[in-house]
Copies of this chain bind each other. A is one copy, B any other.
Amino acid sequence: MTNNFHMGTNYLLKVITGKWKVSIICALGLRDYRYLELLKYENDVNHTKISKKVLTEQLNQLEEDGIITKKSYGTIPPKVVYSLTTIGQELAKKLTNLNFLGEKLAQVNQANISFDINAQQVKNLHKEEQD
């Protein structure tokens, strides 16, 4: 065992660092998404704005890093579907698995677990959506 036992973790962290990447990976863990679908989903779930430029950037990086793949149907208007690679699916599971610890930590810290509004507000939003 070397001192570099965390290099893989660091590499992985580098791959998933980016404001929306974890959210994207978790989303694609549930089902495939088209481009604008994903844009809407992210804006929706996180209650904050993601620009098309940034979404494109992060998708390209995730593809380059072997986490996701895109399939372009050559149609007009275009249709592009994003999905996880095999290793991407593994990653999605692990990330979801980290969720519990993250929530526990947030609770201990009494931290704001949402992007820009607090958990209670999120709950209220969901209540409103149900009404």
Alpha-carbon distance between A5 and B22 when the two chains are bound, in angstroms = 11
B6 & A105 in contact (Cβ 8 Å cutoff) = no
Tally of A interface residues using CB under 8 Å: 46
Alpha-carbon distance between A99 and B9 when the two chains are bound, in angstroms = 4
Segment from A32-40, A49-57, A71-79, A86-94 that makes contact with B: A86-94
B65 & A105 in contact (Cβ 8 Å cutoff) = yes
Tell me which residues across on chain B come within 8 A of A115, comparing CB atoms: 10
What 10 pairs between A and B have smallest CB-CB spacing? A8-B102, A12-B102, A8-B103, A6-B26, A8-B99, A9-B99, A11-B102, A3-B45, A11-B106, A9-B98
Q: Which residues of A contact B (CB under 8 A)?
A: 2-13, 15-17, 22-23, 26, 44-45, 65-66, 87, 90-91, 94-106, 108-109, 111, 113-115, 122, 126
